[in-house]
């Protein structure tokens, strides 16, 4: 099957961007120098059990690079590799709504003023938004594509407590209620498959719940163990068992089958840094896992939404 046909088995993010802008749009990660309430002592110092001290960050801000300098540097690789001319600024590190609204506005304005930037994605926690911040993000939707990325990871409170998220599922429902009236502001939920204590049914229930709440997109991650995290200790003590590769592939296909057809699938597996990865080692083979998911969907003759009631 040709790549284009494979993509039709789920609503692929790159195809979605191409349909909006008529060409490839490349995401560029930016580090705004913010922190996280689960790291700075407001909620805890420890962070989520799978998070290391970098908080998914590039460390670019600490190296003295401004937002616009980071975007200009990111463009060089995107132009060389993809001949990209349009870009999304991706505020990825830590919690990118965790600051006074004036400070956030200055950061977002700087990103959106860079040449070729057509929008931004803002990663945050559901307990770190309020009406003022949502209004600020919504105001940009007149001229730009804006995605708000809420780290949810699981809709089950027992799991959220176990992984030390520092918020419950109600926080996510409140965060969604703030966005629902904003018709052009998109929400992407992050979900992790393979969290300790979660059964297959619990993981698939997450798909139904985010679909029912009107989430526009999802990033599906695999739980992997990163060196120096609390999860690393749990793994060493035999208190968590990572998924096998085929088990994960089957779960992703089951998960996709339960999502609304309209939801944009932004990611279907994780992409760990191999120098930090402890387990499972197969997770470093991103392309192999990606291809296995495509082949399993084909073998099942399945697609996103097939099992959604
Ligand atoms: S919310 Fe994000 S940055 Fe904060 S501790 Fe959890 S994973 Fe790390």
pLDDT in tens, 118-146: 999 999 999 999 999 999 999 999 999 99
Q: Is the CB of 47 under 6 A from ligand 1?
A: yes
Tens of pLDDT, residues 163-176: 999 999 999 999 99
SS (H, E, C) 46-89: CCCCCCCCCCCCCCCCCCCCCHHHHHHHHHHHHHHHHCCCEEEE
> Is residue 308 in a domain?
no
- pLDDT tens sequence across 197-252: 999 999 999 999 999 999 999 999 999 999 999 999 999 999 999 999 999 999 99
Q: Report phi then psi at 164, rounded to 5.
A: 60, 45
Give the closest residue to 218 by CA, choosing from 239, 191, 258: 191
- For residue 152, with 0-12 CB atoms within 10 Å meaning exposed, 13-18 middle and 19 or more buried, which class applies? buried
CA–CA distance, 201 with 196 (Å, rounded to integer): 13
- For a mutational test of ligand 1's pocket, the pick from 48, 126, 224, i.e. the residue with the most ligand atoms closer than 8 A to its C-beta, is 48
Residue where the block lists tokens 């709504």: 97
CA distance 187 to 201: 24
In a domain, 56, yes or no: yes
CA of 16 from ligand 1 middle (Å) equals 28
Q: What Rg, from alpha-carbon coordinates, does the chain have?
A: 19
* Whole-angstrom distance, CA of residue 263 vs CA of residue 13: 10
Take residue 24 and report the two structure tokens written for it: 């490839």
pTM for this structure?
A: 0.95
Ligand 1 atom with minimal separation from the 165 CA: 6
pLDDT at 1: 44
- Paired sense of beta strands 277-279 and 225-226, if any: antiparallel
Q: Are 269 and 221 in contact (CB under 8 A)?
A: yes
pLDDT value, residue 189? 98
Q: Where are the alpha helices (DSSP H) in 141-193?
A: 157-162, 169-179
pLDDT at residue 56 is higher than 80:
no
The label of the residue with tokens 């692929």 reads 12
Q: What is the CATH number of the domain that holds 19?
A: 3.20.20.70
What is the residue range of 114's domain?
A: 8-299
Sheet of 86-91: strands edge to edge? 25-30, 86-91, 117-124, 145-153, 186-193, 217-222, 264-267
191 lies in some domain: yes
Determine whether the shortest distance from the Cβ of 126 to ligand 1 is under 6 A: no
Q: What is the pLDDT of residue 57?
A: 62
Q: Is 125 in the pocket of ligand 1 (CB under 6 A)?
A: yes
Instruction: Give the total number of structural domains in the chain.
Output: 1
In a domain, 1, yes or no: no
Say which residue the tokens 């046909």 belong to: 5
Using CA atoms, how far apart are residues 76 and 154, in angstroms rounded to an integer?
36
Is residue 153 one of the residues assigned to a domain? yes
Beta-sheet pairing, 117-124 with 86-91:
parallel
Q: Does the residue 304 lie in any domain?
A: no
Residue 46 lies in a domain: yes
From the CB of 38, is ligand 1 less than 6 Å away? yes
């Amino acid at each position: 099957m040709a790549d284009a046909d494979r993509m039709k088995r789920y609503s692929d993010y790159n195809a979605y961007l191409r349909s909006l802008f008529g060409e490839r749009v490349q995401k560029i990660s930016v580090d705004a120098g913010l922190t996280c309430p689960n790291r700075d002592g407001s909620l805890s110092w420890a962070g989520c059990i799978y998070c290391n001290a970098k908080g998914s960050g590039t460390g670019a801000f600490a190296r003295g690079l401004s937002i616009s300098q980071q975007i200009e540097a990111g463009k060089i690789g995107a132009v060389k590799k993809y001949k990209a001319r349009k870009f999304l600024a991706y505020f990825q590190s830590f919690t990118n709504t965790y600051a006074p609204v004036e400070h956030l506005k200055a950061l977002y304005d700087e990103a959106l003023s860079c040449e070729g930037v057509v929008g931004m994605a803002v990663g945050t926690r559901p307990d770190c938004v309020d009406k003022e911040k949502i209004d600020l993000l919504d105001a940009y939707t007149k001229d730009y594509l804006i995605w708000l990325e809420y780290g949810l990871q699981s809709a089950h409170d027992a799991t959220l407590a176990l992984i030390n998220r520092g918020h419950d599922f109600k926080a996510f429902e409140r965060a969604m209620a703030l966005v629902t009236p904003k018709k052009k502001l998109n929400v992407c939920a992050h979900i992790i498959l393979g969290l300790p204590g979660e059964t297959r049914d619990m993981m698939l229930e997450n798909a139904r719940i985010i679909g029912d709440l009107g989430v526009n997109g999802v990033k599906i991650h695999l739980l992997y163990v990163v060196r120096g995290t609390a999860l690393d200790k749990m793994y060493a003590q035999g208190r968590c068992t990572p998924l096998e590769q085929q088990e994960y592939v089957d779960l992703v296909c089951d998960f996709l089958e339960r999502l609304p057809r309209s939801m944009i699938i932004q990611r279907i597996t994780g992409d760990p840094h191999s120098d930090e990865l402890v387990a499972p080692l197969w997770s470093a083979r991103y392309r192999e896992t990606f291809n296995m998911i495509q082949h399993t969907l084909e073998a099942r003759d399945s697609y996103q939404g097939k099992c959604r009631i």
